[in-house]
Structure 1
Amino acid sequence: MKRTFVLMGLLFPLAIISQIPVTDAATNASVGMVNSQLMNINIQLKAVNKNLSRLINLMEKNNNETLKSRKILKEELEAKKQAPAYVTKSTDVSRTIDLKTKILEAYRTSKQTVQQLEHLNRKERQEFFGFAANAILETKNLFKQCNDILKTKAIILPEERLKKVNGINSELESILDNLIVYNNKLSRTNAFRKSRSTLINMNKE
């Protein structure tokens, strides 16, 4: 029995010593595996960082493009708030001014002419004067609309401004034509009555 304990006492240290290399090898293997995993993680992190850098660069580029686009859009909107020179100095605007002048001249001339027509009655004269006064009022309103279209700060395309001015010109032309037609009508009426009166007087003689 005593020999058994002695033998076991001798063998136990040997067993411990024999296990040390095995334990170190396992530890080294584990450390190597961890290092390998860390290397893989590091590689993945580098790839992620690279992708993030690309993404950040793209975002910055897009942001710069967006800011540039906003600036251009703002400039375009500001430009649309003002009528350019080719609109304010266009033949359409010149036509508006010319029509206004012609209507005022036609009004003054017609008024003088009608007042001198001896064979018109008072009602006919008053109706014409009322028509002519209304024509002048409409002309002033349309001319004001033209100025408002040219000076407004609203966002309107130059082509739209010209289109509106052209529409005003059509109305002014109609006013001028109607004023001339009305004046000619009264002149013909007066001439007809004058001829008839002359004929009657000749027959009396």
Structure 2
Amino acid sequence: MRYHINFGQNSSSFKLAVIRALTGILLMTALASCASQGAQEAELAAQEAARVAIEQEAASLAQEQERLRAAEISRQQQEQAAEQARLQAQRDRQAAEIQARADAERRQQEELQRQVRAREAAIAAVEAERQQKLDRITALEQQITSISASVGDSENNTEFLQQAISVAEELLDVLASEQEKYEDTDSQGNTLRPLAKDLIAELEARKDELIRRAGTQ
């Protein structure tokens, strides 16, 4: 029995198998290369997305920091303005208090001066009234002397003149008593005991009436 091997046919099959194997390898290599390139592109895209996200986050943080900085500046400015307003209000209040004290002291001084002037005027008025009564006493004494001299000249008016002398002497006693009251006065110069002004006026009127009636006799 003979075995015949056809190397030509087997060689073609082998070549075809080799070609197919190489083609598969190349295809797999290409596929692997494509897969690797896709992964790289995906990684690059992810990195780019991460970079963009980081930049956006950084920008957001920068904006937030700027907002916080502006808010802090505004807060400090408001605090400074409030402090300045408080200090100004305090200065205004102190100035108003100083002015109020000055006005009160001025009014007090004016009131004291007014009281002094009023007291001096009252004392002067009382002294003038006292001097007036002293003058009236002197005039009354002279009038009594004159009336006494007239009594002996005419008997017709003797009764009226004697009554006039009696009233004049009573008036003289009252005026002398009034002078003693001026020794006891208050800080305003007013007498502590009331003056007998009505009695003096009444005695003056009676005296003058008696003298008038004596003159008509």
Provide the secondary structure at the position in 1 that maps to 2:101.
Answer: helix
How far off its partner does 1:136 sit? 3.3
1:69 and 2:114 equivalent?
Answer: yes
Task: Tell me the residue number matched to 1:55.
Answer: 100
Tell me which of 143, 146, 161 is aligned to 2:172.
Answer: 143
Task: Tell me the residue number matched to 1:26.
Answer: 71
Q: Greater relative contact order: 1 or 2 (C-alpha under 8 angstroms, separation 6 or more)?
A: 1
Higher Rg: 2
Task: Tell me the residue number matched to 1:99.
Answer: 143
How far off its partner does 1:35 sit? 0.8
Runs of 4 or more off by more than 6 Å in structure 1?
164-170
Provide the secondary structure at the position in 1 that maps to 2:127.
Answer: coil
What is the root-mean-square deviation of aligned Cα atoms in Å? Answer: 4.4
Matches of 1:98 and 1:105, distance apart in 2: 11
Q: Deviations over 1:161-201 (max 9, x none)?
A: xxx9899767545434534654xxxxxxxxxxxxxxxxxxx
Gaps of 5+ in 2: 1-45, 183-188, 192-198
Matches of 2:58 and 2:110, distance apart in 1: 76
Q: Relative to structure 1, is the Cα distance of residues 174 and 64 closer, same or farther in structure 2, using a 3 angstrom cutoff?
A: same
Matches of 2:145 and 2:104, distance apart in 1: 60
Q: Relative to structure 1, is the Cα distance of residues 45 and 27 closer, same or farther in structure 2, using a 3 angstrom cutoff?
A: same
TM-score of the two chains, using structure 1 as the length reference: 0.51
How far off its partner does 1:98 sit? 1.0
How far off its partner does 1:134 sit? 3.3
TM-score of the two chains, using structure 2 as the length reference: 0.49
Amino acid at match of 2:166: L
How far off its partner does 1:101 sit? 1.4
Matches of 1:77 and 1:28, distance apart in 2: 72
1:178 and 2:213 equivalent?
Answer: yes
Give the number of equivalent residue pairs: 152
Amino acid at match of 1:54: Q
Q: Deviations over 1:114-141 (max 9, x none)?
A: 5xxxxxxxxxx9xx87655533332222
How far off its partner does 1:89 sit? 6.2
Is the 2:160–2:210 contact (alpha carbons within 8 Å) kept by the matching residues of 1?
no
How far off its partner does 1:99 sit? 0.7
1:1-205 pair list within 5 angstroms = 18=62, 19-83=64-128, 87=132, 90=135, 93-107=137-151, 109=152, 133-147=162-176, 152-153=181-182, 172-179=207-214, 182=217
User: What percent of counterpart residues are identical?
Assistant: 10
Q: Deviations over 1:87-128 (max 9, x none)?
A: 3664x5543221111223334x26xx75xxxxxxxxxx9xx8
Matches of 2:61 and 2:103, distance apart in 1: 62
